[in-house]
Chain A
Amino acid sequence: MQIYLPIAEISVNMFLIFGMGGAVGFLSGLFGIGGGFLLTPLLIFSGIPPAVAVATVTTQIVASSSSGVLAYWRRGAIDMKMATVLLIAGVVGSAAGAWLFEILKNMGQLDVVISLSYVTFLGTIGGLMLVESVGAIRRRRQGSNRPARHPGQHNWIHGLPFKMRFRQSKLYVSVIPILALGAGIGFLGTVLGIGGGFMMVPALIYLLRMPTGIVVGTSLMQILFTMAAATILHAMTTQTIDIVLALILMVGGVIGAQFGARMGQKLRGDQLRLLLALLVLAVGVRFAVDLLITPDDFFSVAIKEGKG
């Protein structure tokens, strides 16, 4: 069934978009990520103008993350203080990202920067997760238990000044790495049109040594507020949020997420991380191929002004 999108100004197949939302929602529920890094390229590939795809995905992430935040909130698994600090830094990072986005867009180099960033970040994070999860699975097969983590275990990050106490996370750490993390992910999120959950979750676990149980809820809380702000910013500056497209994606997404979450409970943590690593790497490789292989068509057109 075809449906006309009032802002994108094109007709799309409703079930195709619904299916995309559902599939990405499923993965998002399965892995506890927003899924923007999958959904944005999928939409662009299916003919939605890139500006509309990037802006509308932020709205879809608000829906999917708010559903998750609610669930974690009920269980009290959100560190509000940590989320607030991350958020403040995130706003600064987003503003810088929006500024760079505009400059790159005018230079016509947005595509290459986005592709290179995807390759770099997806490649690095996917690779790290792959090594870690394969190691964990191997250890489990051999029957040796992973050394239990001591709450007081320290790394170089814990030696930095300006310490702050986070009761819920049972942490007493410097705010510098937290601010840097929030700003960095806010910056990348705005430039790449993603929530950054796939970067935030491992960073909070491995760098800050936050308890895993609190990480997902806190990360979702930060994503919810960042993306809500991004939605309003996009609405006011680019005016490219398509509410009809967003609604179809949301409904597909929240339904898919529920099935994903149920599936996720049946799989082991290390298996889940291995699958996510492979998925992240696959998207990264896809972008690398585009940069390295001689294109079929050297030319492209972009509308600068006027409708169409």
Chain B
Amino acid sequence: MISRGRSLFLGLLFAATLHAGSGQAESLITSLSSDQVLIESNFTGAEIVIFGQIGRDGQTVARPGNYDLAVVLRGPEQIVTTRRKDRFLGLWVNREAETFYAVPSFYVMSSTRPPTEMGHRTMLEKYGIGINYLNLPISPQSEVPLSDRDDFRDAFLRLRRQQGVFSEQAGKVEFLTDSLFRTTISLPATTPVGVYTVDTYLIHEGAMLATQEKGLTVAKTGFEQMAFDLAHQRPALYGVLAVVIAVFTGWLAGVVFRKD
């Protein structure tokens, strides 16, 4: 990891020198320590290091103050239903439900400062920077009264945080030099598989200067992938195999523990 990080770092410096000199505004270059995370049987999570360089040259506008950076990792989108329990005939049962469409299955935002300090609500919402500024689309036919919608939204975000799939880490983007920065994002053992995006936003005094997007693939490998493919592509065979394995295990136990 260390040697990989160093070569990545040098590569970035090189790339930055080539890239600079394109014009007035800053440019942004980022790179991931790895663009794919492979899940094997001993997978307990992974760490992704994101390096980046803010490109400036003589022609770039001089700006007072510091730059802000936000790095957002988003998992593949999914449809999630949030339900609320209510009393019905003395029993606590699910009553109202709100379905959110196209929400990320995984969301981590790492930034130099808390989102509210980096810019205005409009900008944060536009780019989805910060858990509270995420766009959570609902169905137009939603039956939840307007006054209750925020409750569902808050509950959804709170539960996703509790489950460890939504998180924010303000102050975790560190500058190595004036223009070179780095941040680390941890993927937990519950990380969903799929294609992720890593978006880096360069902000200065509330204005978006540059953005960069990188892809990250989280995929199963080896036996895990084989079992998953079999279960989905040859379901009948998978079922029969499961039964055969189960009967064999039962039979084996009977033979091993047989008293006579």
List residues of A whose CB falls within 8 A of some B CB: 2-4, 6-7, 9-11, 59-60, 62-71, 108-109, 111-112, 116, 228, 231-236, 239, 241, 243-244, 246-247, 250-251, 254-255, 257-258, 290-295, 297-308
Closest Cβ neighbor of A65 among chain B residues: B250
Docked pose: A236 CA to B230 CA in angstroms:
11
Docked pose: A231 CA to B245 CA in angstroms:
12
Question: Is there contact, CB below 8 Å, between A67 and B235?
Answer: no
| B17 within 8 Å of A (CB atoms) | no
Docked pose: A290 CA to B91 CA in angstroms:
9
| B35 within 8 Å of A (CB atoms) | no
| B14 within 8 Å of A (CB atoms) | no
Given the known interface contacts A235-B239, A255-B253, A302-B81, the answer about A109 and B246 at a Cβ–Cβ threshold of 8 Å is: no
* A3 CB contacts on chain B under 8 angstroms: 41-42
Size of the B side of the interface (Cβ < 8 Å), in residues, is 67
B94 interface neighbour in A7, A109, A255, Cβ under 8 Å: A109
Query: Can you sample 19 A-B contacts with CB below 8 Å?
Result: A4-B39, A62-B242, A63-B249, A63-B250, A66-B250, A67-B251, A70-B254, A71-B254, A111-B94, A116-B91, A232-B236, A235-B231, A235-B236, A239-B231, A250-B245, A254-B253, A301-B163, A305-B79, A307-B105
Cβ-closest 4 pairs across A and B: A235-B239, A306-B78, A66-B250, A11-B189
A306 interface neighbour in B41, B77, B220, Cβ under 8 Å: B77
> Shortest beta-carbon distance, A217 to chain B, in Å?
13
A112 interface neighbour in B91, B156, B224, B245, Cβ under 8 Å: B91
Question: Is there contact, CB below 8 Å, between A2 and B106?
Answer: no
* B176 CB contacts on chain A under 8 angstroms: none
Given A299-B84, A301-B156, 18 more pairs with CB closer than 8 A? A2-B43, A9-B193, A11-B190, A59-B246, A62-B242, A63-B247, A65-B250, A68-B250, A70-B250, A232-B239, A236-B239, A293-B92, A294-B92, A299-B83, A303-B78, A303-B79, A303-B105, A307-B76
Question: Is there contact, CB below 8 Å, between B227 and A298?
Answer: no
> Shortest beta-carbon distance, A254 to chain B, in Å?
3
Given the known interface contacts A239-B231, A302-B83, the answer about A292 and B41 at a Cβ–Cβ threshold of 8 Å is: no
Which of B44, B83, B159 gathers most chain A CB within 10 Å?
B83
Question: Is there contact, CB below 8 Å, between A2 and B250?
Answer: no
Q: Is the interface of B mostly helix, strand, loop or mixed?
A: mixed
Q: Is the interface of A mostly helix, strand, loop or mixed?
A: helix
Question: Is there contact, CB below 8 Å, between A70 and B251?
Answer: yes
Which of A11, A68, A241, A305 gathers most chain B CB within 10 Å?
A11
| B67 within 8 Å of A (CB atoms) | no
Question: Is there contact, CB below 8 Å, between A239 and B232?
Answer: yes
Given the known interface contacts A3-B42, A291-B91, A301-B81, the answer about A308 and B159 at a Cβ–Cβ threshold of 8 Å is: no
> Shortest beta-carbon distance, A305 to chain B, in Å?
4
Taken residue by residue from 129 to 173, chain B's Cβ proximity to chain A (1 for < 8 Å, 0 otherwise) reads as 000000000000000000000001001101110010100000000
> Shortest beta-carbon distance, A291 to chain B, in Å?
5
Docked pose: A62 CA to B254 CA in angstroms:
14
> Shortest beta-carbon distance, A223 to chain B, in Å?
12
* B24 CB contacts on chain A under 8 angstroms: none
A298 interface neighbour in B43, B84, B243, Cβ under 8 Å: B84
* A60 CB contacts on chain B under 8 angstroms: 246
| B90 within 8 Å of A (CB atoms) | yes
Closest Cβ neighbor of B87 among chain A residues: A294
Docked pose: A3 CA to B165 CA in angstroms:
19
Question: Is there contact, CB below 8 Å, between B44 and A67?
Answer: no
